Amino acid sequence: MRRTWLAIGLACGIVAIGPATQHAQQKDDPGSPRTRAPLTLLQINDVYTTVPVDGVGGLARVATLKKQLAAEGRTPLLIIGGDFLSPSVASTVFKGEQMVAGLNAAGLDLATFGNHEFDFGPDVLRQRMAESKWQWVASNVVDATTGQPFGTSVPYVIKTFGPLKVGFLGLCLTIDEITSDRLKIIRLINPIEAAARYVPQLKREGATVIVAITHLSYREDRELAERFPDIDVIVGGHEHFPIAATENRTLISKAGSDARFVARIDINKREGGAVERFFELIPVTAAIADDPETLSVVTAYESRLDTALDAVVGHSTVGLEATASRMRSNETNVSDMVADAIRADVGADVAIMNSGGIRGDRAYAAGPLTRRTIITMAPFGNVVCKIAAPGRVILDALNNGTSRLPFNDGRFPMISGMTIRVNVAAPVGSRVTDVMIAGQPLDLQKIYTIAASDYQLKGGDGYAMFMDQRVLIAPESGSLVSAAIEKYVASRPQISPSAEGRVLITR
């Protein structure tokens, strides 16, 4: 089947959009204009697993794609736009070591920091950077003690590809979600200020094409393109869905998450000086064979992970009640423990989490708690988020959570930082009364911070009232619920959770 291209004319170049449904291993037509491009960027971002998810993605397939393009005479440069050291079940165990090993094997060339690269603190980050075979590019991340680029990173890179002299800079977001305990001796500079310094520097050093590798919000990427029209391509991250857009003359690309797609961007410069960019979003499916070398590395870590899941992370002096029939209509010691864990993880005033997010459906005996047990309790990969909302939203959420009583339902709330009274005989929507937060009655107008799961922020289990509130920690930046529970358990010599009477039900 012949490839077809849609060319969009710009003031200073062309973006050619290829169909995302093409077979990833099909060679370019000999007459295709992108075959003349000296450089092919292969972009991934927000990759939290080395293996396919539901049959899609996988670093071994990405490695094959790069090798195939090289065999066809292309010059592929594999780039990741941040967020890969964390979070995941495997990173809870290996602290990102498995991601570095997998990306090394896949042939990663350039990377910038995402907010999750700081999750384990500067010492672990330095170690992972030392293990990396690729070049870290970070224009706005410096060592606070020296003012120099952090670790092995550099503020910019210039590479030559035939007639192209391509300058790369790297920019990471500076949001409050990256807490001070994770940064410690790392200082984040405003990305616009950093770009204002290094874009002119790249031009002075002769760069004919400029590529910004970013982990910024789409809004910030658009601002970057507006402020610095000399940037030809923004290879971005942070959002977990594919984006291909142009802002003035700049192509902005984001490839989704977990390597489900690879964005291919071929770059050329015509004699008249116009930059051509040919874009294709390639699905990473089983149609792409696994690269044996990368697969061997990935498989070895997966085998180690299976053993590591049996590691003991804490001890409980009491049995843990996690049967669905109890948790979905009553307060239990597990529901209190989980709610406390997610509230502590984000430092919120209160926590409200749907009990259906906790599984296992069993009563666990007192004794050692393994990582496998915790993941069995929180298996979905849900993320802890934080929002700011008035007290009336909290009341709406609590009334939603108790609306199906006396029947068991996954929306039943697990709460922390407050107590409530529930009258099952009252009309739905008016069942919750006597809400107390920090010893004070709920103020319907006051703004509180709330810990909840990303599932709830999307309106899951009827928690639509959370959807339009101000998000302080978004799904892209939060910790896994399972990781928050493990951190809570591991930080204590032992746990003895009890059902404290936070939810008093009149039946």
The CB density around residue 383, as the number of other CB atoms within 10 Å, is 22
Query: Which backbone phi and psi does 139 adopt, to 5 degrees?
Result: -85, -20
Predicted pLDDT of residue 507:
79
User: What confidence tier does 32 reach under pLDDT thresholds 50, 70, 90?
Assistant: confident
Asked if residue 284 has pLDDT above 80, the reply is: yes
Predicted pLDDT of residue 87:
84
Which DSSP string corresponds to 25-94? TPPPPTT-GGGG-SEEEEEE-S---SS-BTTB--HHHHHHHHHHHHHTT--EEEEE-S--S-SSHHHHHH
Q: What is the pTM assigned to this prediction?
A: 0.80
Q: Quick one: average pLDDT of 75-90? A: 94
Q: Quick one: average pLDDT of 1-24? A: 39
Q: Which residues contact 458 (CB under 8 A, 6 or more apart)?
A: 467
Q: Quick one: average pLDDT of 301-319? A: 94
Predicted pLDDT of residue 217:
92
Lookup: tokens for 348: 């919120």
List the one residue out of 451, 450, 460 whose CA is nearest residue 481.
Answer: 451
Q: Quick one: average pLDDT of 322-339? A: 94
Go through the domains of the chain in sequence order and give each one's CATH number. Answer: 40-306 (3.60.21.10), 310-506 (3.90.780.10)
* β-pairing verdict for 363-364 and 320-321: antiparallel
Burial of 446 (0-12, 13-18, 19+ CB in 10 A): middle
User: What confidence tier does 26 reach under pLDDT thresholds 50, 70, 90?
Assistant: low
Query: Which backbone phi and psi does 403 adopt, to 5 degrees?
Result: -70, -20
Whole-angstrom distance, CA of residue 171 vs CA of residue 189 = 9
Which range, of 13-22, 179-188, 271-280, averages the lowest pLDDT?
13-22
Asked if residue 29 has pLDDT above 50, the reply is: yes
Using the 8-state DSSP alphabet, how is residue 175 labeled? -
